[in-house]
Amino acid sequence: MPPSNLQDVFSQRADELREYIFTQPASTFTNNPWALANAIDTFASEKGHMMIFKDKKLDAARAQLEAQQPAPRTILEFGTFVGKSAIAWGAILRDIHGENVPADVNVYTFELDPKMVALSRDLIELAGIADVVHVLEGPGSDSLKKLHTDGAVTSVDMAFFDHWEKFYLPDLQLIEDLGLWRLGSLAIADNTDFPGAPDYLRYVKDGGRGIEGSVKYESTSFETDSKQGKPNIVEVSKIVAI
């Protein structure tokens, strides 16, 4: 979890991003999620201090989703922030399924901070993908339990872990315990090298709980950037047995 002075910077960045996007003509972004995702990237590279999923990592994740059989329909995201990666997941699902995305194709993205919830919802609306991408406020674990109890989520094709790292492993295990994985589902995690999620990494690299009949993972660390000392790993773990 970042220190409180950094949290203040993130909050300031959220205000600046709102201003940056909403002072441009809406037609630039209407029904164009990739244009909006790219604009958020441009803002982030100019301003810095934006904890968004980097493009090269997104490309690696996108290739995995495009190769997935059957095609992905339900994505969970833990950690929305300003909505950049959530918008990208929605755009990828739209590219895979076509403009008229079926009603059972959804991204559920979880966020603690009400300010980020409000901004990401406005950006998702502007990009024209609010029918696909849903921002749920509160701890991801609580939102997921509710989605499961309500019957809204019965199976998960991909879960993206990009919230505070101490929650990665318990939230992964929650998906297991709710019985939401299928063969071929993907768990994708950012920041496993820095700041690091050692318990999560050990668990997926070991293949899971290692008990007869439990979910089994095959895990690969994709190196996406050659810059020394920069976080550059995205961990992709595939469910190979249930």
Sheet order of strands, 106-111 included:
133-137, 106-111, 74-78, 156-161, 181-190, 233-241, 216-223
Q: Does 192 bind ligand SAM (CB under 6 A)?
A: no
Q: Does 81 bind ligand SAM (CB under 6 A)?
A: yes
* Torsion-angle region of 124 (φ positive above 0: left; ψ -120 to 50: alpha; else: beta): alpha
Q: Does 43 bind ligand SAM (CB under 6 A)?
A: no
For the bound state, the minimum distance from the C-beta of residue 44 to ligand SAM, rounded and expressed in Å, comes to 9
User: In this chain, which of 52, 126, 180, 197 binds ligand SAM, going by CB under 6 A?
Assistant: 52
Separation CA 242–CA 99 (nearest Å): 33
Q: In the structure encoding, which two tokens stand for residue 136, read together?
A: 């749920």
Sole window of 19-27, 159-167, 173-181, 218-226 interacting with ligand SAM (rule: CB under 6 A): 159-167
Residue type at 145 in one-letter notation: K
User: In this chain, which of 9, 35, 96, 112 binds ligand SAM, going by CB under 6 A?
Assistant: 112
**Toward ligand SAM, which CB reaches closer, 51 or 130?**
51
* Torsion-angle region of 49 (φ positive above 0: left; ψ -120 to 50: alpha; else: beta): left
| Residues contributing to the site for ligand SAM (CB under 6 A) | 51-53, 78-81, 84-85, 110-113, 116, 139-140, 162-164, 167
